[in-house]
Amino acid sequence: MLGRLSPTFVNSRNIWCGGFVALAVGMGIFEYINRILHSQLGENLTLGIRKKLFSSMISKNIEWFDKKERAPGILSGMFQEDVSQLKGLTSQTYALILEATVCLLIGIALSFLNTWKMALVTRSVVPFLILGGMAEQIIFWNSVKNSTKQVKDNEDQLDPYDRANALLSDIIINYKTVISLGEKNVEFLLQKYQALLEEPKRIGIKQAHISGIIYGYSQCIRFLFVAFIFYLSSIFIFKYNDEPEDTYVGVYTLFIAAIGSGSLFSQLPSVSKSKQSANKIFEIIETHKKVKKDQRYGQVMNYQQKQIIQQGEIEFRNLSFKYPSRDKKVLNNFSLKIPMGCKVALVGHSGSGKSTIANLLLRLYDYEEGSILIDGNNLKDYDVKLLRNSIGYVMQEPLLFNISIKENIIYGNSEASDDQIKEVAEMANALQFIDDFSENQEHNPSKAFKLPQDQVMHEQQNEDQNIDTTILSQGFSKKCGLKGSLLSGGQKQRIAIARALIKDPKILILDEATSALDEQSQESFNIALEKAMIGRTSIVIAHRLSTIRNCDWICVLHHGKMVEQGTFQGLSDDEDSYFYKLKSGMEM
Ligand SMILES: Nc1ncnc2c1ncn2[C@@H]1O[C@H](COP(=O)(O)OP(=O)(O)OP(=O)(O)O)[C@@H](O)[C@H]1O
Ligand SMILES: [Mg+2]
């Protein structure tokens, strides 16, 4: 059989075979190195972006989080899905595009070397193939954009998947409420969730049709091209008497080019998708820079000051404020001076603006009218980080993290010693119940009757045994559950108070901090609190008379305005006072 082949053909066959074997080995090695390098690059990139995204999100103003497109489910989805999509912009996709392009170019070059006539004719078809491919791409992305835009125009201006994620995160975070409101409520939410997913499903199916056409097209084009080459080669051999050997090599090199062009098209959709995700992510990271400059250092001219609070004297001067999401003023010309070390109670009906004052003092929101001075300096001149470090704030609905009690307390000051932790736990009247957790565990761990929840606590306690038992009891290692769900309301509040005190703050703000305590705990707690407030300027927001009775000064708010102020006794004695009426509705 070999005898029928010309020596030149055998010679060039060997060269070509050798060339392809070398190419195969080269490709194998290249592919291996390429995968390793690019997956490393991709992982490093996504890790870096996740870190950047996290730090920019965490330093945003609270109003940024108030927007509906910033629901927890949407933001956490962004960390997972969108950041992973970014890999499409770097490693694998670009490597594949590069590979396909190299394949295409080598194929074209080799085919020109061997059968330039045929290569020339087949190349004249390529621009049409590429144009066809691009047209498909444009149709694909327009259809995606239009279908999303349609939904956005219709309702809520949010991507349907984002709306479904927002609802889902709401359900998970508030799972106790969702379940306790009964089966009908669960059914209602399930239907709502399903309805929200209908739109993405419709878009998904539409996209599947279009991407099916694109991928089908890219596969189809290769084989049409092969058929075209075969047809052409027969014409060149029989009509123009070309050498069959040259044509044979030419056909194969053109195959390579065809494979290259096919894979090039199939990579383009993932690049476009990645670009969409990149836009979403960098919009957040970029806006972070602007906010950071204004927020952290106050006015730029005071950049160098970065004062820490020395005494804790607070003055509100004609402060007016409305939340960015609402037009109505919630504080109106509010003025008050609180001398250093003084205890002031803010009282008023629900919605009168008490918590808003605390929010502004911590610069969770920024005010535009009026001013707040601390130790005579404008609040906006303080470095936000240092400012918040000097203020102990116990929120109206304190949240604990699903970490141990000790870790929750030192969240306020990670350098605190075990002695300090114990001291603040005692001040917050929390030491007793924390120690009780360890006693229950030690005395009768296996025989005691356990509710399922206790079982979880017990298991979690065993997991975390790294607490120094010489100073802190084993109870400090107890995990608190999601949002502190393994603790009672009163226990959560007391740990939150310990967390605020561990910073040894100059200013203490307690927003309904004792509302979940029973009467007996309240009494002993008030005594402990009295001690904790010594040497600090304190703002107490409370509905309980027993909490505000010991305050030096009482301010009564109504619809964001200060309507009365005075001592507890002075205001209580005046039967016509607003406070007198308010007091009658207050718990003891
Ligand atoms: N993030 C927010 N965005 C828009 N409006 C808000 C926001 N937070 C509070 N408000 C509105 O501001 C007003 C004052 O709220 P604030 O929380 O200060 O009241 P409060 O006196 O603390 O009430 P309560 O005693 O019920 O805690 C209310 O009308 C409330 O609806
Ligand atoms: Mg409030």
Please name the residue whose Cα sits nearest to atom 24 of ligand 1: 350
Domain C-terminal end among 264, 296, 328? 296
Mean pLDDT by 10 residues, the chain (588 residues): 66 84 89 82 86 85 80 84 76 66 73 68 62 58 52 56 83 80 82 85 81 73 76 80 72 68 60 76 73 44 58 92 88 93 92 92 89 91 86 85 91 86 89 80 40 45 50 86 83 88 91 74 73 87 81 91 90 82 68
Cβ-based neighbours of 313, under 8 Å, separated by 6 or more: 337, 338, 339, 340, 373, 374, 375, 376, 537
Q: What pLDDT does residue 286 have?
A: 80
Closest atom, ligand 1, to C-alpha of 66 = 1
Residues 154, 155, 156, 161, CA torsion sign: negative
Helix (H) or strand (E) holding 181: none
Please name the residue whose Cα sits nearest to atom 13 of ligand 1: 351
255 lines ligand 1 (CB under 6 A): no
Q: Does a structural domain hold residue 542?
A: yes
Q: Please give the full DSSP string across 431-493, using - where no structure is assigned.
A: HHHHHHHHHHHHHSTTTS---HHHHHHHHHHHH---S-TTTS-GGGG-B--GGGTTS-HHHHH
Q: Does a structural domain hold residue 2?
A: no
Pair (285, 346) in one structural domain = no
For the CA of 356, the nearest ligand: 1
Domain C-terminal end among 243, 262, 296? 296
Buried b (16+ CB within 10 A) or exposed e, 272-304: ebbeebbebbeebeeebeebeeebbbbeeebee
| Range(s) of the domain holding residue 399 | 314-584
Pair (340, 448) in one structural domain = yes
Pair (198, 240) in one structural domain = yes
Number of independent structural domains in the chain: 2
- Coil vs helix vs strand at 271: helix
Q: Does a structural domain hold residue 307?
A: no
46 lines ligand 1 (CB under 6 A): no
Q: What pLDDT does residue 303 have?
A: 45
Pair (150, 186) in one structural domain = yes
Pair (255, 395) in one structural domain = no
Pair (46, 85) in one structural domain = yes
Rounded-to-integer distance, Cα 326 and Cα 495, Å = 33
Question: 171 C-alpha vs ligand 2 centroid, how far in Å?
Answer: 23
Q: Does a structural domain hold residue 389?
A: yes
Q: Enumerate residues with CB within 5 Å of ligand 2 (an ion).
A: 355, 396
Residues 86, 89, 91, 97, CA torsion sign: positive
pLDDT tens, residue by residue, 262-286: 566 555 556 667 777 888 888 888 8
Q: Does a structural domain hold residue 566?
A: yes
Pair (252, 192) in one structural domain = yes
Q: What pLDDT does residue 345 have?
A: 93
Kindly report the CATH number assigned to the domain that includes residue 52.
1.20.1560.10
Question: 351 C-alpha vs ligand 1 centroid, how far in Å?
Answer: 5
Q: Does a structural domain hold residue 193?
A: yes
Q: What pLDDT does residue 300 have?
A: 39
66 lines ligand 1 (CB under 6 A): yes
Kindly report the CATH number assigned to the domain that includes residue 436.
3.40.50.300
322 lines ligand 1 (CB under 6 A): no
For the CA of 327, the nearest ligand: 1
Domain C-terminal end among 296, 322, 339? 296
DSSP state of 555: E
Pair (558, 500) in one structural domain = yes
Pair (21, 117) in one structural domain = yes
End-to-end Cα distance, the chain:
109
**Residue of 356, 393, 559, 561 to mutate, ligand 1, most atoms within 8 A of C-beta:** 356
Pair (259, 371) in one structural domain = no
Pair (124, 267) in one structural domain = yes
Q: Does a structural domain hold residue 1?
A: no
Question: 560 C-alpha vs ligand 2 centroid, how far in Å?
Answer: 12
CA–CA distances in Å: residue 19 to residues 22, 34, 131, 417:
5, 21, 32, 70
Nearest to 123 by CA among 5, 314, 253, 311: 253
328 lines ligand 1 (CB under 6 A): no
Q: Please give the full DSSP string across 227-268, using - where no structure is assigned.
A: HHHHHHHHHHHHTS---HHHHHHHHHHHHHHHHHHHHHHHHH
Please name the residue whose Cα sits nearest to atom 12 of ligand 1: 330
Q: Does a structural domain hold residue 3?
A: no
Q: What pLDDT does residue 152 have?
A: 47
Q: What pLDDT does residue 545 have?
A: 78
Give the length of the chain. 588
Pair (285, 390) in one structural domain = no
